Amino acid sequence: MKLTIVNQTSEKINTKRLEKALDLCIQSLCAKRLRQKKRLTDRAEIVFVFLTEAQMRKINMQFRGKNKSTDVLSFLSADPQALGELLFCMPVLKKQAKRQGHPLEAELVYMMIHGLLHLLGYDHEVSKSEEKVMFQIQNSCFEQVRHPLW
């Protein structure tokens, strides 16, 4: 899958490592029983957008009615060739990585998996059972891809 990166921050993004991480995440997810798994193999592109806290807060308010920045937002694409867009807030990811005691790259990959699952129709805010299913897949996938990356 082609990865397009839009970086609206001053952060340096390691495109090659991000592409490798995305490939590993997609491989791991495709090996699982998932809803809409075919979308992962049929779509030719995904867009990652890196935003500041102010930008993320504005978008989160506009689309979710929440006046705060968040780690990742997922948007399906109107383009039938594209899977969608994942918007990442680097300052929030940095804070979460520090709290979790792992590198920023690990937090980014974890939230990449989270965003991909949202693009496949999973939503942890719907119910406790949906939350359990989504986070089991997310954690399992993260365990599989983190070792080849770090």
Q: What is the pLDDT of residues 77-120, one digit of tens each?
A: 999 999 999 999 999 999 999 999 999 999 999 999 999 999 99
| pLDDT reported for residue 76 | 95
Q: How confident is the model at residue 149 (pLDDT cuts 50, 70, 90)?
A: low
Domains in the chain with CATH codes: 2-149 (3.40.390.30)
User: Quick one: pLDDT at residue 148?
Assistant: 67
Beta bridge partners of 2: 45
Question: Is the predicted pLDDT of residue 150 greater than 80, yes or no?
Answer: no
Q: What angle do CA 6, 134, 123 make, to 5 degrees?
A: 65
Among candidate residues 73, 99, 74, 94, the one with its CA nearest the CA of residue 84: 74
Distance, in Å, from the CA atom of 62 to the CA atom of 2, rounded to the nearest integer, reads 28
pLDDT given for residue 37 in this prediction: 86
For residue range 67-85, what is the model confidence (pLDDT) as tens digits?
999 999 999 999 999 999 9
**The tokens of 51 are what?**
């935003």
Mean pLDDT of the chain: 94
Judged by average pLDDT, the poorest of 35-44, 50-59, 71-80, 101-110 is 35-44
Q: Tell me the pLDDT tens digit for each residue of 14-28.
A: 999 999 999 999 999
